Amino acid sequence: QVQLVQSGDEVKKPGASLKISCKASGYSFRTYGISWARQAPGQGLEWMGWINPSGGDTAYAQNLQGRVTVTTDSSTSTAHMELRNLSSDDTAVYYCARDGGDTATVMQYWGRGTLVTVSS
Amino acid sequence: QTVVTQEPSLTVSPGETVTLTCAASTGAVTSGHYPNWFQQNPGQAPRALIYDTTNKHSWTPARFSGSLLGGKAALTLSGVRPEDEAEYYCLLLFGRARVFGGGTKLTVL
């Protein structure tokens, strides 16, 4: 079965960088795109970015452009999301999610989330 | 910056039918936005319900259906059950970018 296992919760200081991993199993890693989304406490979901593990194509949310980078390592079937120059506004649960088999099937399978707290 | 708008909250009685909608600030939502819908219970990761406007995943209960309605994407729950109380999010595709709606808190009373 499809599984996405995310790295553990983190506490960061303002100005620091964050890198979260998402290890995939149960399917051919390079075949499906992976998105990242986050959810601040008591708030809605915010899409952050997407990567095609096969070609390396990426897309990012406009408001995070320049501060976020998503990458993949096919040798370990792992996706990574790096977010730089953190502030308290980046405190959130971060999720990775795998797309389905076509353009229209988005974020079909989700990881359990990684809680990131940014505090001085 | 594209904004996707949903009803903040809706209340429905068990057994009734309710429709949640999803509008885009850019204009009418079309099939080309490939509307997807997700359900989220408190403290849990979201769960995909509907993709490509109308299609259900293998785990999606039959009482959930998706459509386009009056220039918006819509999620209809027919015969609502108490366990359907949750937050529901739509997501629209704008090229390779994706935008979530603000979510609808569905209360079943």
Q: Say if the Cβ atoms of A110 and B48 lie within 8 Å.
A: yes
CB contact under 8 A, B52 and A105: yes
pLDDT per residue as tens digits for the range A23-62: 999 999 999 999 999 999 999 999 999 999 998 899 999 9
| Closest CA of chain A from B11, distance in Å | 19
A9/chain B closest Cα distance in angstroms: 15
Number of CB pairs, chain A paired with chain B, less than 8 A apart: 75
- Residue B21 confidence class, pLDDT cut points 50, 70, 90: very high
Q: What is the pLDDT of residue B55?
A: 97
C-alpha triplet A28, A33, A83: angle, nearest 5°: 120
Question: How far is Cα of residue A97 from the mean position of the Cα atoms in its chain?
Answer: 7
pLDDT at site B64: 98
Contact list in B for residue A59 (CB cut-off 8 A) is: 95-98
Q: Is the pLDDT of residue A9 over 90?
A: yes
pLDDT tens profile B27-65: 999 999 999 999 999 999 999 999 999 999 999 999 999
Tell me what pLDDT residue B87 has: 98
Neighbouring C-beta atoms of residue A24, cutoff 10 Å: 23
In Å, how far is B83's CA from the nearest CA of chain A?
20
DSSP string of B5-67? EE-SEEEE-TT-EEEEEEEETTB---GGG--EEEEE-TTS--EEEEETTTEEPTTS-TTEEEE
Taking contacts as CB-CB distances below 8 angstroms, the residues of chain B near A34 are none
Work out whether the CA dihedral B40, A82, A80, B36 comes out positive or negative. Answer: positive
Show the tokens assigned to A89: 């506004």
Which 3 state secondary structure label does DSSP give B101? coil
* DSSP bridge pairs for A35: A50, A97
DSSP for A58-104, please give it: EEE-GGGTTTEEEEEETTTTEEEEEE-S--GGG-EEEEEEE--SSTT
* Euclidean distance between CA atoms A104 and B90, whole angstroms: 13
- pLDDT tens, residue by residue, A58-113: 999 999 989 999 999 999 999 999 999 999 999 999 999 999 988 889 999 999 99
